[in-house]
Structure 1
Amino acid sequence: MRLRAMAKINLGLDVIKKRDDGYHEVRMIMQTIRMYDQIDLAGSDRPGIQVKTNLPYLPSNENNLVYKAAKLLMDEFHIEKGLDIRLRKVIPVAAGLGGGSSDAAAVMVGVNRMFHLNLSLEELADRGKTIGADVPYCIMRGTALAEGIGEILTQLPSLPPCHILVAKPGINVSTKNVYKSLRADEIQNHPDIDGIIDAIRGSSLMGVTARMANVLEEVTVRDYPVIDEIKQLMMERGALSAMMSGSGPSVFGIFDDRRKAGHAYRQLQDMNLVKQIFLTKPFAPGGR
């Protein structure tokens, strides 16, 4: 079985407060994009879970989220048959694009199908939140409002057609450290999440881009000003808006013109500021 684990961006990211359990209460607009890792699943007569990846520095044991995702379901349903997982990473690692969570989500969907567990997406999502806060969204995919710690989801209409340029500088960012450094009670300017939702429902791309904001930028950009440089370069080259995704360091720009997006892609590709760059589009659910 072959599956696509799709990347995500955040069209808006707000932190409401830090909870007593140490997690942060958030309101985020999540959007799946057409950038994906490839996962191949195969049953095996050899018991246990075997993981192979195309990146030598990724773990192939229980420290990899795909292993945890498979083990979660196989233990619960007492599956004795073995499972071989081949993971081909394309989504940049530690980049704010949800690659690890999406990989785990795809494996859960695949194991559910392969072993005929007959779990609904809602049932999978409920189990997925024990692996990571973004896993339930990555199971649902599309355009959604995420609340709580990210696990309370409300499906939204699809984002209007557009072109999305994603650029990752040659740095990695720890989500845990970003949230640790964030002073949630001192946030002055909160994104207009409800306004973004209204713009999506009204099919107004300009309405979405005019309200895009991410409170985590204040933390990450302070340590890595290159993020702000890339944002400005995208805006100067025709992006309706540009923003850091998640905890960073990836930056995305939204374009309503394919030629402008392609021109920006080629120009940023030649700059030392960017290590990886992708030109893609929004993704709407309709099959893995």
Structure 2
Amino acid sequence: MEIIERAPAKINLTLNVLGKRNDGFHEMRMIMTSIDLSDRLTLTSKEQDEITLSCNAAFIPLNKKNIVYQAARLLKETYGIQAGIHIAIEKKIPVAAGLGGGSSDAAATLRGLNRLWALDLSLEKLAELGEKIGSDVPFCVYGKTAFATGKGEIIQLINDFPKCWVIVVKPPKGISSWTVFEELDLMSIPRYDHQRMIEAINANDYEEVVQYAGNALEEISTQQQPTIKRIKDKMESFGVDVAVMSGTGPTVYGLTRQRSKAQRIVNGLKGFCKEVYLVRTLN
């Protein structure tokens, strides 16, 4: 038996860091939405009781280090599943990009195996399980628009994000999240009004949404990779309504409602950066 699951990327519309927790993580306030840039996972039953992986990207580990493997093992061990599974990962989301590609792959694995093994678990239960392997996995289980608190694992769904075009630009070099948080000075980073953003999204008010978008980690990541600011400046000069770094970076996205303008911006950016994508928000 075979199941196919899409694993969409996410972007951070707002990202705030409130402080460091006793468990070593940081207390977060984030609003995220999914975009139509997706990995594709094919989950195929095996007679032999084992988990095996394959991937079209050569640099992805195909062992216990892979979060997809961890997700499959978690379900097997939690529910005593004595069945084998092969998971083929077709990567389209850039790696180490701040787009949640690995977390989304893990979430897709949980959803797909829930169907394949007829576990009949709710999304809430899958999100609860997903928290054990990554803070972004619970959001990715839902794949909608949400307000995330705690480490990012406490999810409150909100209305769909207004329909628009998303220009996604990934610089060649990735950023390790831990290096960004290591350099974090909580007294100097900005704060963004997530409550006003939630109200704007719930009202489907695109003009308000672009006013309140922002990422508190952007300046720190830009110090590591000045390319982030250069991409933002290019996007803004080409006419995006807003340009924001996603997650800990280095990917920057820009929003516009006009298809023709979006395509012009993409064409302008392709000479500046190799990985440029034009996608829609997911509803």
Whether the TM-score (by the shorter chain) exceeds 0.5 is yes
Secondary structure of the structure 1 residue equivalent to 2:85: strand
Shift of 1:187: 3.3
Question: 5+ unaligned residues in a row in structure 1: which ranges?
Answer: none
Find the aligned partners of 2:240 and 2:51 in 1 and give their Cα distance.
Answer: 44
Find the aligned partners of 1:217 and 1:210 in 2 and give their Cα distance.
Answer: 16
Q: Confirm or deny: 8 A CA contact 1:196 1:207 kept in the other structure.
A: yes
Shift of 1:188: 4.8
1:283 aligns with 2:278: no
2:27 corresponds to which residue?
25
How many equivalent pairs are there?
281
Find the aligned partners of 1:104 and 1:66 in 2 and give their Cα distance.
Answer: 5
Find the aligned partners of 1:109 and 1:188 in 2 and give their Cα distance.
Answer: 36
Find the aligned partners of 2:138 and 2:9 in 1 and give their Cα distance.
Answer: 13
Task: Specify whether residues 189 and 57 from structure 1 end up closer, same or farther in structure 2 by C-alpha distance, changes over 3 A only.
Answer: closer
Pairwise CA RMSD of aligned residues?
0.9
1:50 corresponds to which residue?
52
Percent identical pairs in the alignment equals 41
Q: Confirm or deny: 8 A CA contact 1:209 1:241 kept in the other structure.
A: yes
Aligned counterpart in structure 2 of residue 156 of structure 1, from 150, 155, 158: 158
2:99 corresponds to which residue?
97
1:199 corresponds to which residue?
200
- Residue 212 of structure 1 aligns with an amino acid whose one-letter code is A
Deviations 1:82-127 (A, max 9, x none): 1001001100000000000000000000111100111100001001
Aligned counterpart in structure 2 of residue 84 of structure 1, from 77, 83, 86: 86
- Residue 175 of structure 1 aligns with an amino acid whose one-letter code is S
Q: Confirm or deny: 8 A CA contact 2:67 2:106 kept in the other structure.
A: yes
Q: Confirm or deny: 8 A CA contact 1:187 1:215 kept in the other structure.
A: no
1:130 corresponds to which residue?
132
Shift of 1:142: 1.1
Counterparts of 1:262-277 in structure 2, within 5 Å, are 262-271=263-272, 274-277=273-276
Find the aligned partners of 2:189 and 2:84 in 1 and give their Cα distance.
Answer: 52
Q: Confirm or deny: 8 A CA contact 1:52 1:87 kept in the other structure.
A: yes
Find the aligned partners of 1:137 and 1:68 in 2 and give their Cα distance.
Answer: 17
Deviations 1:222-266 (A, max 9, x none): 111110111111111111000100000000000121111100001
Shift of 1:21: 1.2
Shift of 1:189: 2.5
Secondary structure of the structure 1 residue equivalent to 2:282: coil
